[in-house]
Structure 1
Amino acid sequence: MTRLLPRWFVEHVNPVADEDDLPVSTLELFFDLIFVFTVAQFTAVIAYDPLIGLIQSVLMFGFLWWMYAGYSWLTNVIPPERPARRILLLCAMAGWLVVALTVPAAFASGSVWIAVGMLVVVLVHGLMYLQAARSFGPVFIANLAAVAAVFAAELGPEGAWRYSLWALAAVIVWSVPFWHGQRGLNLHPAHITERHGLVVIVALGESVVAIGIGARDLPVDADLLLAAVLGLAIGACMWWSLFVRDLPATEHRLTATTDAVKRVRKVLAGLSYAFIPVLLGILVFAAGLKHAVGHALSPLDVESTWLLSGGVAAFLVGTAGLRLAMPLPRPWERVALAAVVLALAPIGLVNTALQLGAITAVLVAALAWEGRAAAAPATRGSSPVRSG
C-alpha cells in the first residue's frame, strides 16, 4: 500500500528511526485540547438525559477513544517535527473539531458530518502510520470499516438501527488487538505514558468547567461555594490516585519491558482499554457535578447522585485495570474503593453536600492509607540492623 502513496508524502512524512528520547510537543498538547472538547460535548449529552445520554456517549466514545489513542501512538513513532507532519495533524484536528461539534446531533437528528469528520481523522492517521509500520495496513482497513458503519448509522433511520451501527463501529476497532499480532509496532514508554496522562489532566479540567457552567447566573452563596470546593477536592483526589504513583510506575514498567510486542500489549490493556472507564468516569462525574453546583444544601435527584458516585467509581475501576495490566501492586483495593464510593450515592438524596463530603472523605482516607502502605516496605528496608 505504501508504494501507492505520492513520493512527496513518503519523503516528508517518513519517520526517523533513531529517536529515543521523545518529548511531547506543543502541537500534541494543542491536539489534546481539541479532543477534550469532544469529551466536554459528551458531558453535556449525559447531563441533559443521564440514562439515554450515557448509552449514546458510551457507544460513540468507544470508536472515538480508539482513534485518539491511535494518534498518541502515531506521534510516538512519527514525531510532528517536520512541516508536512504538522500540517497533516492540523488537518486531523479539523476533523476532530467537526466530530465534537456534531456529537449532540449524532443520535438526536443524525448528522452525516460526524462521519465525515471521522473519515478525515482515520485517513490522516492511517496514511501517516503506514510510513512507520507496514503491518498497520489491516488496522487501517478495520478503522475504515468502522467509519463506514458510522456513515450507515447517520444516513439510516433513528432508533435501534443507529444504536446498533455505532456499537458495531466500536466492536470492529476494539476487536483489532485480538486478531492483529502487534508485531512490527514499537513505542517510547515515556511519551506514550505522558500522552495518555495529559488527556486525563485536560479531562479533569472539564470537571472544573462543569462547576463554572453550573454556577452560571447563580448567587455566590454556600449552596454554590460548598459544592464547587468539594467537587474540586474530589477531582484532586482523582488526580492524586492516578498521577502520584500509578503513571510514574507505569512508565517504569514499560521501560523495563524490553520485548516490543509485550510492551505494546501492556499499553493496549493498561492505557487504552483501562482508560475507557477512567475518561468516561470523569465526564460522568462532571455531568453530575453540573447539577450539584448551586444545590449543596438541598437533596439531589436520583440520576445526579448516581452520576456523582458512579463517575468516581468508574474512574477507580479504570485505575485498577491499569494496575492489573502493568502489573502494579494492590489493584483489587481500588475495586473495593469503587464499591464503597458507589454505595455512597443514596446520601445525595438527603443532602448534596453530604454526598460530596462523604466521597471526598473516603477518597482522602484511602489515598492516605495507600501512601502509608507504599512507604512501609521502603521504611523496613532502610531500617538499621542492630548489632548483637
Structure 2
Amino acid sequence: MSGQRHRSWHTPMQARSATEAHRAATPLELFFDLCFVVAVAQAALPLHHAISENHIAEGVGTYLMVFFAIWWAWVNFTWFASAYDTDDDVYRITTLVQIAGVLVLAAGVETAFEDGTFTAIVLGFVIMRLALVAQWLRAARSDPDHRKVALRYAVGISVTQALWLVWLTVPESWSVPLFLLLALAELLVPALAEYAPGGPTTYHPHHITERYGLFTIIMLGEAVAATTIAVKTGLDEGKYLPDLVVVAASGLVIVFALWSLYFERSAHRLLSTQRTALVWGYGHYLILGAAAAVGAGLGVVVDHTTHHAHISGVVAGYAVAVPVVVFLLAVWLLHVRPVQTGARLAAYPISSVLVLLAPLGPAPVTVIAVLLAMLVVVTVAGSRRGVPAAEAPQATSLL
C-alpha cells in the first residue's frame, strides 16, 4: 500500500491495483485470521480424538468436510480483500459480521463430529456469505469496469448458499455425495466469474501469497499448540516422561521443517495467470488442512505413548505420516515443480515414500523428523548454494 489511505465512513469501492507498492496484510485481515484459529482448533481436536478411539473413517471424513467450510470461507474473504479492500467503516463492519459468522461456524464443529449435524456450521456460513454478497454488490455498484464479474460472484455465492440450506434437509445417505457436488459448485464460482467477460478481478500477487503464508503459519502453530496440550496431559500423570520428550522434540522438528520447506521461496511469481492462481489457491486446501492435521496426529501419538489410544503403533504413526506426505506433495506440486530442476526435484517424492514407510518401523515420529530434516538440508540449504535468485529458472505452469 503506497502511503496512508484516508479512512471514512463510506468510500467508492474501486478495484485496487495489482501492482500497488508496499501492499501488506492489514490489522483487520490479521484479526480475521486470528478468529479462524478458533474454528481450526475446534476441528483438529475431535480429529485427534476420533483417530485415537479408532473411529478413523468417520473422523477423517468429517474433518475434511468441516475444514472445507473453514478454508473456503477464508479464501473467499482473502481474494475479495486483495481486490477491494477500501478499509472504510462500511467495509470494516461487514468484515466484522463475517468474523461473527466464523465464530458461529466454530461453535458447530463439535456437533458435526459427534452426530453429523452441520446446522450451526451452515448457519455460520450463511452469515459470512450474506456479508460477502453485500460486498460484491457494493463493488458492482462502484466499479463499472468489473461490474459483470462482481455480479457473477454475488449470484453464484447466493445460489450455492441456498443449496447448502437445502442440503441440511436431505437424507443422511445423500449427505456426502451432495456435499461433494456442492463443494465442486463452490469451486466453480470463481472460475466461471473470473474467466467470463468483465474479469478478472485485480488481486495482488504479493498480497495473496503473504496472506496464504500467514494462514499456513497459523495452521503450523496449531500443530505446536496441539502437541503441547497433548504432552501436558500425558505429563500430568507423572509417567512416560522420556518417551514424551522424544515425541515433543520430534514434533517440533517436523513443524520447523514443514515451515522451512513452505517458505523456501516466494510464490508470488507463480500467480502470473488466472489459471495458475486458481490452481495455486485451491491447492492450499491440502497444505492448510494437512498442516492442521499434523497437530492432531501428534496428539494421537501422545495418546498411544501414554496408553490412552485404542489403535496400534502403526496406525498412530500414520496419523502423522499421512498429513506430512500430503503437505510435502502439495508444496512440491505448487511451489517446487514449477521452478525447480535437476535431482532436487525428486527429493520431495522420494522423501514422501520414505515417510510413508516410517510407521512400519520403530519410533516413526522420530524417523519422520529425521527424514524431513534431511529434506530441508537437501532442498533449502542446497538451493542456497546453487543458482542465484536472479538466474533462477522462470516459473512454469502448475499443471
- For the superposition of Structure 1 and Structure 2, which TM-score range results when normalised by the shorter chain? 0.7 to 0.9
Question: Is the 1:305–1:345 Cα contact (8 Å) retained in structure 2?
Answer: yes
Aligned partners of 2:300 and 2:319 also within 8 Å: no
Contact kept? 2:136, 2:153, Cα under 8 Å: no
Pairwise CA distance, 1:45:
2.9
Q: C-alpha offsets along residues 187-242 of structure 1, whole Å, 9 cap, x if unaligned?
A: 11211110000011011011111113213443262122221111011000000001
Sort the Cα spacing of 1:367 and 1:111 in 2 relative to 1 into closer, same or farther, 3 A: closer
Distance 1:332 1:72 in 2: 32
Letter in 1 for 2:297: G
Residue 279 of structure 2, aligned match among 269, 272, 277? 269
Give me the whole-angstrom Cα distance separating, in 1, the residues matched to 2:100 and 2:12.
Answer: 19
Question: In terms of mean alpha carbon deviation, does 9-18 or 305-314 score higher?
Answer: 9-18
Matched, 1:320 2:338: no
Matches within 5 A, 1:125-144: 125-130=132-137, 131=139, 133-134=146-147, 135-144=149-158
| C-alpha separation in 2, matches of 1:90 and 1:155 | 29
Is 1:169 the equivalent of 2:175?
A: no
Change (3 A) 1:25 1:372: closer
Distance in 1 between the 2:116 and 2:191 partners?
34
Structure 2 gaps of 5+ residues are: 1-7, 51-55, 392-399
TM-score by length of 1: 0.82
Work out which of the residue numbers 55, 59, 65 in structure 2 matches 1:53. Answer: 59
Partner residue, 1:378 = 387
- Relative distance call for 1:357 and 1:302 in structure 2 (3 A) is closer
Q: CA deviation at 1:309?
A: 0.2
Cα gap change, 1:69 to 1:365, in 2 (>3 Å)? same
* Cα distance between partner residues in 1 of 2:9 and 2:319: 48
Does the 8 A contact of 2:79 with 2:208 survive in 1? yes
Give the alignment partner of residue 369 of structure 2, picking from 354, 360, 375. 360
Distance 1:178 1:77 in 2: 16
Contact kept? 1:76, 1:188, Cα under 8 Å:
yes
Q: Find the residue that maps to 1:322 and give its secondary structure.
A: helix
State whether residues 10 and 89 of structure 2, in contact with CA within 8 Å, keep that contact through their aligned partners in structure 1.
no
Which residue matches 2:169? 155
Question: What secondary structure sits across from 1:155 in the alignment?
Answer: coil
**CA–CA distance in 1 between the matches of 2:276 and 2:184?**
20
Q: CA deviation at 1:63?
A: 4.1
1:69 maps to which of 75, 80, 83: 75
Closer, same or farther: CA 234–215 of 1 in aligned 2, 3 Å: same
Instruction: Output the CA distance in 2 between the equivalents of 1:369 and 1:345.
Output: 23
Q: Residue 235 of structure 1 aligns to which amino acid in structure 2?
A: V
Aligned residue runs from structure 1 range 1-388, under 5 A: 11-12=10-11, 14-15=13-14, 17=16, 20-21=20-21, 22-49=23-50, 50-79=56-85, 81-106=87-112, 108-130=115-137, 131=139, 133-134=146-147, 135-157=149-171, 159-182=172-195, 183-219=199-235, 221-245=241-265, 248=266, 250-254=267-271, 257=272, 262=273, 264-270=274-280, 272-293=281-302, 296=305, 301-323=313-335, 327-330=338-341, 332-347=346-361, 350=362, 354-378=363-387
Judged with a 3 Å threshold, the aligned counterparts in structure 2 of structure 1 residues 184 and 304 are, in CA distance, closer, same or farther, namely same
- 1:251-305: per-residue Cα shift (whole Å, max 9, x none)? 2444xx4xxxx1x3222111x2221111121122111111222655989544322
Q: Which amino acid aligns with 1:191?
A: H
Query: How many Å separate the matches in 1 of 2:371 and 2:86?
Result: 43
Size of the alignment, in residue pairs?
355
- String of CA shifts for 1:158-196, please: whole Å, max 9, x gaps: x32222232222111123355444323111121111000
Helix, strand or coil for the counterpart of 1:92? helix
Q: Deviations over 1:42-77 (max 9, x none)?
A: 212322323211112223333442231121111112
Amino acid at match of 1:166: F
SS in 2 for 1:378: coil
Residue 24 of structure 1: SS of its match in structure 2? Answer: coil
TM-score norm. by structure 2 comes to 0.80
* Partners of 1:226 and 1:296 within 8 A in 2: no
Contact in 2 for aligned 1:277/1:317 (Cα 8 Å): no
Could you tell me which runs of 5 or more consecutive residues in structure 1 were left unpaired when the two chains were aligned.
1-8, 383-388
CA distance in 2, matches of 1:341, 1:282: 15
What is the CA-CA distance between 1:38 and the residue it aligns to? 1.8
Task: Measure, in 2, the Cα distance between the counterparts of 1:206 and 1:29.
Answer: 16
1:67-120 deviations in whole A, cap 9, x for unaligned? 311211111122252121111111100001111110222361524222121111
Write the deviation string for residues 127-180 of structure 1: whole angstroms up to 9, x where unpaired.
2134064213223333233323332333344x3222223222211112335544
Aligned to 2:234, the other structure's residue is in SS state coil
Query: How far apart are the structure 1 equivalents of 2:71 and 2:326?
Result: 16
Contact map agreement 1:25 1:80 (CA 8 A) in 2: no
